[in-house]
């Protein structure tokens, strides 16, 4: 089975770890529109640089907590002009200069780490997340979107060429996983990248959306589960299956998202501590999603 997961951060890491249990081939497609932290500082210095943070973190998480190489990539400088920068971001930037594209730089890094999964950027271009809030106020950049209490809509700038390999992986996948993660600044910031929204609509694979355990402090602080699914729908993302976290497996399906194109809903445990998604809990839920959809 071929599986693809889209997004960034620790949510993507949980999905990837779960997929490695149930799939034969696993590919991560990571967002490149971040403008905060070390990635944001690098983008200020080199304007044609896509965001590197999610790509670096994905490789580190795939390497695992016992990997010395992964630990090295996550090291952050403590003093001087480099203070706050992740070493892995600087390594990726050097590989980007050496190879000419983030796609090739990531392949180089994955080979160095002897990883059994593929990591692709959503684009080789330096993308930026834009949006508007419910009052019509423009939101420029991922940080502005993240801290807005009333996001209405987001989109990606510029309209760059699609990354062919990412499109190919989506079209050939048996299972495609979106989330968990920040709705606007992780899930949609990746899924709205050039060519990916169309590929998600056309893929033969089962598209699964993994909901967060609770509303976020910032961009979805007032959202319930239906508002989250509706936001995906309004942006052209129509998952086939939705996974909802419940402390215990429920009999039957209480949530009806059929009006948003959702065919199946899982309601059961997706976490062991209620704080973070657990790959051990996610794996059977994702396995269920692929089995009931064929």
pLDDT in tens, 173-197: 999 999 999 999 999 999 999 999 9
Assess if residue 177 is contained within a domain.
yes
Assess if residue 67 is contained within a domain.
no
Instruction: Give the chain's domain count.
Output: 1
Q: How far apart are CA 90 and CA 84, in angstroms?
A: 11
In this predicted structure, what is the pLDDT of residue 236?
97
Lowest pLDDT segment from 75-84, 200-209, 254-263: 254-263
C-beta separation of 30 from 52 below 8 A: no
pLDDT in tens, 213-234: 988 878 898 899 999 999 999 9
In this predicted structure, what is the pLDDT of residue 228?
95
Q: Is the pLDDT of residue 131 over 60?
A: yes
Assess if residue 96 is contained within a domain.
no
Assess if residue 282 is contained within a domain.
yes
Strand-pairing partners, residue 210, are 243
- Determine the structural domain holding residue 120 and report its residue range: 2-33+116-292
Assess if residue 111 is contained within a domain.
no
Q: Is the pLDDT of residue 71 over 80?
A: yes
Assess if residue 155 is contained within a domain.
yes
Assess if residue 262 is contained within a domain.
yes
Residue 155's CATH number: 3.40.50.10680
Mark 36-58 as b/e (b = at least 16 C-beta within 10 Å).
ebbbbebbeeeeebbbbbbbbbb
Reported as a pLDDT band with limits 50, 70 and 90, residue 239 is very high
Reported as a pLDDT band with limits 50, 70 and 90, residue 45 is confident
Helix axes 102-112, 53-63, angle to 10 degrees: 20
In this predicted structure, what is the pLDDT of residue 285?
96
What does pLDDT average to over the chain? 92
Assigned token pair, 225: 């589960």
Assess if residue 55 is contained within a domain.
no
Instruction: Report the predicted TM-score, pTM, of the whole model to 2 decimal places.
Output: 0.94
C-beta separation of 57 from 13 below 8 A: yes
Reported as a pLDDT band with limits 50, 70 and 90, residue 255 is low
């Amino acid at each position: 089975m071929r599986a693809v997961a889209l997004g960034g951060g620790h949510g993507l890491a949980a999905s990837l770890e779960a997929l490695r249990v149930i799939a034969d081939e696993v590919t991560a497609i990571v967002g490149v529109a971040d403008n905060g932290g070390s990635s944001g500082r690098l983008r200020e210095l080199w304007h044609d640089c896509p965001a590197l943070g999610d790509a670096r973190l994905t490789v580190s998480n795939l390497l695992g907590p016992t990997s010395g190489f992964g630990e090295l990539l996550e090291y952050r400088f403590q003093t001087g002009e480099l203070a706050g920068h992740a070493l892995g971001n600087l390594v990726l930037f050097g590989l980007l200069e050496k190879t000419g594209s983030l796609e090739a730089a990531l392949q180089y890094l994955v080979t160095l780490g002897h990883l059994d999964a593929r990591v692709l950027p959503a684009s080789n271009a330096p993308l930026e997340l834009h949006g508007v809030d419910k009052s019509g106020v423009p939101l420029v950049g991922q940080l502005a979107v993240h801290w807005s209490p009333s996001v209405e809509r987001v989109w990606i700038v510029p309209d760059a060429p699609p990354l062919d390999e990412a499109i190919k992986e989506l079209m050939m996948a048996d299972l495609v996983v979106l989330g968990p993660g920040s709705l606007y600044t992780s899930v949609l910031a990746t899924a709205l990248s050039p060519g990916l929204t169309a590929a998600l609509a056309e893929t033969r694979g089962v598209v699964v959306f993994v909901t967060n355990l609770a509303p976020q402090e910032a961009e979805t602080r007032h959202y319930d589960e239906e508002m989250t699914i509706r936001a995906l729908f309004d942006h052209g993302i129509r998952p086939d299956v939705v996974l909802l976290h419940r402390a215990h497996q429920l009999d039957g399906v209480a949530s009806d998202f059929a009006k948003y194109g959702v065919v199946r809903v899982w309601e059961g445990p997706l976490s062991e501590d209620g704080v973070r998604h657990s790959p051990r809990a996610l794996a059977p839920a994702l396995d269920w999603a692929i089995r009931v959809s064929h």
